[in-house]
Structure 1
Amino acid sequence: MKPALYLHPKREKSLFRRHPWLFSNAVERVEGSPARGDIVSIYSSAGQWLAYAGYSPDSQIRARVWSFDKRTPVTTEFFIEKLQQAQAGRALLSEFSQTNSYRLVAGENDGLPGVTIDRYADVLVIQLLSAGADWCRSMLLEALTTLYPNCCVYERSDVDVRKKEGLEPVTGLLAGTLPPQPMVIEENGLKLWVDIITGHKTGYYLDQRNNRQLVGQLARGRRVLNCFSYTGGFGTYALAGQAASVMNLDVSQNALDIAAANVSLNQLDDTRIQHIKIDVFQALRDYQGELNFDLIVLDPPKFVDSKAHLKRASRGYQDINRLAMGLLEPGGLLATFSCSGLMPKELFQKIVADAALDAGRQIQFIKALEQAEDHPVAGPYPEGFYLKGFLCRVF
């Protein structure tokens, strides 16, 4: 018997709207004996075929849809077609920025749930975040080596979300020869060191590309504080944009060392930049009444892992924004972000506005900020819009 999931009555609505997730409470029964990640057919309670999906018995998201077309089985050819579609969409990237590194596949947004692929020059870094994606590893790899024969493929499936899928961390070279790490990528006229073996995510935060460029354009003559700087992307752009001074703050000395190397790599004036190893939350408190800045970047790590944590995360965002505003000169600029997919844009704006009230400051929202064009959002999958931010003026 081919494995299949049958739904409770009236639980097909999300699939009819082409949302790719099926939650455990929608499943009435499982037929056959599907293994973790196995491809299953989804049927309505009346027996209507709805989709092919990857089965995940350990997750609340019990299945993630690969195909809503019964004539399109999940094969290597399926992955080749999806990759070609994704690559065609990235052709638009050249209209907005110049780079040799970009997100090739953004999971559900490109019809490949649980699959992230970032391209750094001739290195393809993949993350397989779901049981279904993990099960399809060999087909995906065959598709990648067919379409990108000159690229090496490296896996960074070492993220915590895999635990919810019953999966262990997996890393390592899958195809080709990995160049020495860290390696240099190009972005909007700058060169940046990226370490795909030990760096955050797949090595770098490609989604902030446009926002880094904006900060660089605004930095001229301004004193810039770059909080949660990681390898100093925003700081490097600000320095190249003729900032009067730049301070990168981060808890990782290794990340700060790479930030300093980025300054040298681009032959920028290292006398106008500092790289300070410090807890950013504590630094924002310690600097009150001591230091002032004209432009502050707040790009903290994700605060929200579940809806249950949203209230606590909101307090955290409000706190750091309040403290940052206390360090801004009147008329100063704040570029503030949340990368938490569960944080609604409207709520984040309210949090920042409330932080201004708490700080005794007035605020103007100048520009809404979001993820770059190589991180598209599929229409049926609003969860794909995760990076939101605002450029604000604070008085």
Structure 2
Amino acid sequence: MNQVVLKAGKDKRVRAGHLWIYQGEIGIIGIGVKPGEVVEVLDNRNRFLGLGYYNYSSQIAVRLLTTIRERVDEDFFRRRLQGAIRYRERVKPGASCCRLVYGEGDLLPGLVVDKFEDYLVVQFLTMGMEVHRDLILELLVELCRPKGIIERSDLSVRHLEDLPERSGCVYGENPGPLLIRDNQLQFRVDLLEGQKTGYFLDQSANRAALAPYVKGRKTLDCFCHVGSFAVHAAAYGASSVLGVDISEDAVRLAAENAELNGLQERCSFKTANAFDFLRDQSSLRERYDLIVLDPPAFTKSKQALEGAVRGYKEINLRALKLLPPGGILVTCSCSHHLHPDLFWEIIAAAAADAKRRIRLLERRTQGLDHPILVGVPETEYLKCFIFEVIQ
């Protein structure tokens, strides 16, 4: 097996539990290492650190798979997939939809598998997983017995690994628009054409967390997408819900999802830029009792963080101005590069500028089916705070 030897002092992060090794941390690379090939990783004193796959095209040169000497073969991947499946059976018993494999969080960096009823959606995001693609698909069929597997490896991140984007039905049948259940509510999703893998499973527990707060409240759901928060709010007793999204297709699906659950009389949806809508509502001195802010990631790189900070502050400031004392703000960020402490500072600054005093009710993150691996902070990306306006 080829070897990768790290420079002096560059093993500390790996020893602390991280799975990534950057190109600049490598001192010696074995001759003829192929993209995606599994290599031994050694420190500068030739002490074994683990096995991982290498790709010279990526800034993340090696992603560790294991810290013990073992064969990375069919049995290895079967054990890892079985472990991921058993974990979901413990933390989400009986769930018909969940994230079945969460990359680094399941020690399978570069692989994502979502379960939607009897179907799977897979993403191969790195060269190391791409070279094992056929084997992993075979194992997923063996272990899960799905009616179909849809591949959604159509993300730009694959270009960083020198891989083309790809999508399509790779096993069984494509269900087309599929009816799924989330917290006992129904939603229609498109696994092949919808955003990401079709539906944002990471917010499932946070949507359920609305239940104690929303009854009898006039609710606004900004960046509503297909209406998942909005429909949950109505189901949990909101007096009325208005969902806003810039996408006409998303708003149409949101209205359909409200109707699917018999909640169309309390739900309405509007196609609009959420920034402009919040600003206009503030000018009109509108009031809402509960507001949900669940925007898409405002930044996918550290370089764009400054602009993202301005965006997060603006929407939180505008929302807080629309909430009276006793009002509830549910505010989220899925931007990994926005640290939770910085998100907290942004909200505090927005509250000060809006002249609102707020108190924290809940500090939440992604669901347990998106496990956070200690030592790999990148596995924790979703931030969800629930605040009450007290004056």
Query: What's the TM-score bracket when you normalise by the shorter of the two chains?
Result: over 0.9
2:114 aligned to 115, 118, 134, which one?
118
Map 1:93-108 to 2 at 5 A. Answer: 93-94=91-92, 99-108=95-104
Map 1:1-395 to 2 at 5 A. Answer: 2-70=1-69, 72-94=70-92, 99-179=95-175, 181-268=176-263, 270-290=264-284, 291-394=286-389, 395=391
Return the alpha-carbon distance in structure 2 between the equivalents of residues 99 and 333 of structure 1: 29
Return the alpha-carbon distance in structure 2 between the equivalents of residues 35 and 215 of structure 1: 49
Is the 8 Å Cα contact of residues 250 and 278 (structure 1) preserved in structure 2? yes
Return the alpha-carbon distance in structure 2 between the equivalents of residues 169 and 303 of structure 1: 22
Is the 8 Å Cα contact of residues 295 and 334 (structure 1) preserved in structure 2? yes
1:264 shift after superposition: 1.6
| Matching residue's letter, 2:163 | L
| Matching residue's letter, 2:270 | I
SS class of match (2:33) = coil
Identity of aligned residues (%): 37
Return the alpha-carbon distance in structure 2 between the equivalents of residues 340 and 257 of structure 1: 26
Return the alpha-carbon distance in structure 1 between the equivalents of residues 375 and 141 of structure 2: 30
Q: 194-203 vs 40-49, which deviates more?
A: 40-49
Return the alpha-carbon distance in structure 2 between the equivalents of residues 329 and 107 of structure 1: 42
1:113 shift after superposition: 0.3
CA-to-partner distance for each residue in 1:332-365, whole Å, 9 max, x for gaps? 1000011112222122111101100111111111
Return the alpha-carbon distance in structure 2 between the equivalents of residues 197 and 144 of structure 1: 18
Listed as ranges, the gaps of 5+ residues in structure 2 are none
| Matching residue's letter, 2:268 | Q
Return the alpha-carbon distance in structure 2 between the equivalents of residues 380 and 344 of structure 1: 15
1:190 shift after superposition: 0.9
SS class of match (2:326) = strand
Across the aligned residues of Structure 1 and Structure 2, the Cα RMSD in angstroms comes to: 1.5
Return the alpha-carbon distance in structure 1 between the equivalents of residues 135 and 87 of structure 2: 22
SS class of match (1:87) = helix
- Count of residues in Structure 1 that have an aligned counterpart in Structure 2: 389
1:297 shift after superposition: 0.2
Return the alpha-carbon distance in structure 1 between the equivalents of residues 338 and 326 of structure 2: 27
1:39 shift after superposition: 1.9
| Matching residue's letter, 2:9 | K
SS class of match (1:328) = coil
Return the alpha-carbon distance in structure 1 between the equivalents of residues 195 and 122 of structure 2: 13
Return the alpha-carbon distance in structure 2 between the equivalents of residues 217 and 256 of structure 1: 26
1:94 shift after superposition: 3.7
SS class of match (2:216) = coil
Is the 8 Å Cα contact of residues 120 and 146 (structure 2) preserved in structure 1? no
1:286 shift after superposition: 1.2
CA-to-partner distance for each residue in 1:206-260, whole Å, 9 max, x for gaps? 0111111122442211111000000000000111122111111111111111111
| Matching residue's letter, 2:116 | Y
Is the 8 Å Cα contact of residues 52 and 66 (structure 1) preserved in structure 2? yes
Return the alpha-carbon distance in structure 1 between the equivalents of residues 134 and 48 of structure 2: 27
Return the alpha-carbon distance in structure 2 between the equivalents of residues 54 and 334 of structure 1: 43
Listed as ranges, the gaps of 5+ residues in structure 1 are none
